[in-house]
Structure 1
Amino acid sequence: MASARLLDVSRLASRAGQVATGVDRVELAYLQALTADGGTPVFGLCRTALGFVILDRLGLLALGQCFATRDFPKPDLLSRLNRRLTPAAKLGQSLVRRHAIGRGRRHGLRRLLRRRVPQGFTYINVGHSNLTAPVCRAVRAQPGARIAVLIHDTIPLDWPDLQRDGTVGQFAAKLRVAQTFADLLICTSAACEADVTRHLSRTGRIPPIVTAHLGLDLPRPAPEDIPPGLMPLRPYFVILGTIEPRKNHALLLDIWDDWGPGAPELLICGHRGWNNADVFARLDAGVPHVKEVAGLSDGAVAALLRGATGLLFPSLAEGFGLPPLEAAALGTPVLCADLPACRELLGNWAVYADTQDRYLWENEIKRLLQSSEAVSRPAFTPPVWSTHFQTVLAKC
């Protein structure tokens, strides 16, 4: 058992005040779990524009509270003067500096860790923002220190043509750092573990791996948060997630384009992403019975999912896949791409369809539309965070 745990919160500090992504939520879950564990001291490490900052448990709690309320203090003078920082990073870095128990310059991390964190700690990196060889070497220089890295998926390497510019090289570099320095890799599914093993086996060392399904933080449905005029008055479907090529919105737009009169509503819930100009142009031009909405609260999304005829999830690749789990936990039928991670997590609860077979997707959507009122579905039990952390923290 580690003498202490050091959670890297560099990603969270760069995302202050923004709607949390899936990776953000995982890092927040780790923050909450580690600060709630009274048996093992916990610290936070954050890379800022001026160097590194160490937080204690109280500092981590303050960071978590600000994310929960989305209420961050105004940026300090150092952040306001730095024109290269995003507004979110100005908020987050100001906050961690305010609660720091130690600060050090970029080349002083070894000394900072030696002064502020007990020997024999485990460094945990979930968000990858600070996953670099210099940081890992500084951790390795501490007596008894260990490194644990969570790998969400290997999608940038498996689907390079669908990534933002520079993403593939950045991810490959981070995976090499994990391969070189990690004492433990944490995978979110057996499918993810198989992918990680496949890639690492080509280049040498495979660190010990533990697989632990992520937990599901299902928010309370809040119909009052749904913007006026958004909730359809007739049957509707939802697709949830960033509008990026991997999520395969184009398949559904093709179906709705050809549907004609009597089509149900399709709600596209998510921000616009990258490399998707054709889909953005189609949405801007308008597709019959399709609405696009971004920035909804978690409660509003849950309310829309609960009232939907079904969640449509034609994603081309997933390491875990939260939207279908959220829908299933609310009792909403799921039509899902036939992916190993989704089958692993949903079993026979979802209906699976090959994303290359548009005709099959059309038929399954129409079947859900016809049978939505008549079918009584069994309750779905989603994975929980307590099981994840019971598995992971026993090893780090």
Structure 2
Amino acid sequence: MATTETDRLLDLTRLISRAGRPMTGVDRVEFAYLTHLLRHGPLWGLIRTSLGYVLLDAPGCAALRDRIATGNWGEADRLSRINRGLDPMRARAESDLRRLCMARCLPLRLSAMLRRHLPRGITYVNTGHTNLTDRVLSALQGIDARVTVFIHDTIPLDVPQYQRPGTAHRFRLFLNRAARADLLVCNSRRTEEDLARHLPAQRLPQTISAPLGLDLTEPTQAPDGPWTAPYFVTLGTIEPRKNHALLLDLWEDMAGAHLLICGSRGWENHAVFQRLDAHPPRVHELPGLDDGQVGALLQGSAGLLFPSLAEGYGLPPVEAAALGVPLLLNNLPVYWEVLGDIPVYADVADHYLWLNEISRMAADHQAGRTRAVKAPRFAPPTWEAHFKTVLTLT
């Protein structure tokens, strides 16, 4: 892909803050930007650590990418060991940053550090909804930087009842700062429309919609467990918005089929956690699986169930569709935008319809019938197409 060579500063704070954890969808986007921007023009990386800011040059960014991909972090240094409240994996990651960086500073010296080491007019790219602070924006203004911010969704404002206390307020502050950017990149037309609802036209910067690419990991070996076919998979953090409560309700009346819940426990979901701790029949909680294991489970399943109440994009259904897995989804506009008529859609208020569709999918699977997606029918979006759209403007 040919692009004009542009100096870019990529904010990598989110990836470091989550070192050692399975990647979420937002993490995957930040990692994809790191991988692609390393190949297209001069790149620097900015990270807010527990002790201040770190600046990486291109070799440092490449070394960081390799550590994130492999999980091979070095040992914690003395500064990290002194900071006893720091998560052990993050302590190792921050120690490596100090070994790899071209410069680092305390927060008050950020503007001076950027002026000393970066070219004026550089493009700053923030994809993680993290570290977009007044201090950072002020420091970037001091070097005439162009600011690009990726907006994944406006869910905290759209469904605040499913968020942790204070999340909606913090997101509103983030969105107000994002409005000072030169360009807002959205992952779907739906997110772009939602953004326009929350920012008055006179404050809305230029926006573009660029569907996320898919880095599909080859399925490996499915983990062993007490489940048998037919089984269904649901994938994602166990938080209220993902609506695991509906599936647990359905499985009280479900005969025969098993439910595999792939994802870690999140927040504000104590009632669901209590139900899972009671070990309901034929329901299996599987946190911490890698992408290859999840892919193998999906391929052997009767389908992916995804009753999420709100999504900005929804990577799990796209990943499952690319593997040819049948889909039963809540009827959300963004799925129609990305997947068209490939899934079966069912409103989450209609429990009877969900039970019927799950029973049909289980019977189809047992009989060797399938509504699986055929490769010619679904061509998932690519990162090349995404960056062809984005990099022409950043």
Aligned to 2:175: 175
Structure 1: gaps of 5 or more residues: none
Report how far residue 219 of structure 1 moved.
Answer: 0.6
Aligned to 2:184: 185
Aligned to 1:308: 301
Report how far residue 93 of structure 1 moved.
Answer: 1.4
Aligned to 1:325: 318
> Paired residue for 2:356, among 363, 374, 386?
363
Separation in structure 1 between the aligned mates of residue 165 and residue 391 of structure 2, nearest angstrom: 35
Q: Which amino acid aligns with 2:391?
A: L
Q: Which amino acid aligns with 2:374?
A: P
Separation in structure 2 between the aligned mates of residue 94 and residue 339 of structure 1, nearest angstrom: 43
Secondary structure at 1:209's aligned position in 2?
Answer: strand
1:19-69 deviation line (CA, Å, top 9, x unaligned)? 1111111110000001122xx210001112222111011111111111111
Tell me which stretches of 4 or more aligned residues in structure 1 moved more than 4 Å: none
Aligned to 2:224: 228
Secondary structure at 1:274's aligned position in 2?
Answer: coil
Counterparts of residues 99-114 of structure 1 (less than 5 Å): 99-114=100-115
> Paired residue for 1:10, among 6, 10, 13?
13
The percentage of aligned residue pairs carrying the same residue is: 52
Separation in structure 2 between the aligned mates of residue 233 and residue 363 of structure 1, nearest angstrom: 20
Report how far residue 2 of structure 1 moved.
Answer: 6.9
Separation in structure 2 between the aligned mates of residue 15 and residue 112 of structure 1, nearest angstrom: 25
Separation in structure 1 between the aligned mates of residue 20 and residue 76 of structure 2, nearest angstrom: 12
1:88-144 deviation line (CA, Å, top 9, x unaligned)? 32122111111111122212212211111112210001112211111011101113x
Separation in structure 2 between the aligned mates of residue 263 and residue 246 of structure 1, nearest angstrom: 27
Structure 2: gaps of 5 or more residues: none
Report how far residue 247 of structure 1 moved.
Answer: 0.5
Aligned to 2:374: 378
Aligned to 1:199: 198
Aligned to 2:329: 336
Contact 2:20 2:90 in 1 (8 A): no
Aligned to 2:65: 64
Matched, 1:248 2:243: yes
Separation in structure 1 between the aligned mates of residue 108 and residue 276 of structure 2, nearest angstrom: 48
Secondary structure at 2:253's aligned position in 1?
Answer: helix
Aligned to 1:215: 213
Separation in structure 1 between the aligned mates of residue 98 and residue 173 of structure 2, nearest angstrom: 28
Separation in structure 2 between the aligned mates of residue 85 and residue 174 of structure 1, nearest angstrom: 25
Report how far residue 234 of structure 1 moved.
Answer: 1.7
Aligned to 2:54: 53
1:328-354 deviation line (CA, Å, top 9, x unaligned)? 100000001111111111101111110
Aligned to 1:237: 232
Separation in structure 1 between the aligned mates of residue 223 and residue 232 of structure 2, nearest angstrom: 17
- Structure 1 residues 275-284 or 372-381, which shifts more? 372-381
Q: Which amino acid aligns with 2:211?
A: H
Separation in structure 1 between the aligned mates of residue 105 and residue 188 of structure 2, nearest angstrom: 37
Taking structure 1 as the reference length, the TM-score comes to: 0.94
Separation in structure 1 between the aligned mates of residue 148 and residue 118 of structure 2, nearest angstrom: 16
Contact 2:37 2:43 in 1 (8 A): yes
1:157-178 deviation line (CA, Å, top 9, x unaligned)? 1111111122222111111100
Aligned to 1:151: 151
Over aligned residues, Cα RMSD in angstroms?
1.4
Report how far residue 84 of structure 1 moved.
Answer: 3.2
When residues 2 and 113 of structure 1 are mapped into structure 2, their CA distance, relative to the original with a 3 A threshold, is farther
Contact 1:17 1:72 in 2 (8 A): no
Report how far residue 80 of structure 1 moved.
Answer: 1.0
Number of residue equivalences: 386
Contact 2:74 2:93 in 1 (8 A): no
Contact 2:13 2:48 in 1 (8 A): yes
Secondary structure at 1:394's aligned position in 2?
Answer: coil
Separation in structure 1 between the aligned mates of residue 289 and residue 347 of structure 2, nearest angstrom: 29
Separation in structure 1 between the aligned mates of residue 187 and residue 319 of structure 2, nearest angstrom: 16
Aligned to 1:142: 143
Aligned to 1:280: 273
Aligned to 1:350: 343
Aligned to 1:265: 258
Contact 1:256 1:263 in 2 (8 A): no
Report how far residue 308 of structure 1 moved.
Answer: 0.6
Contact 1:2 1:120 in 2 (8 A): no
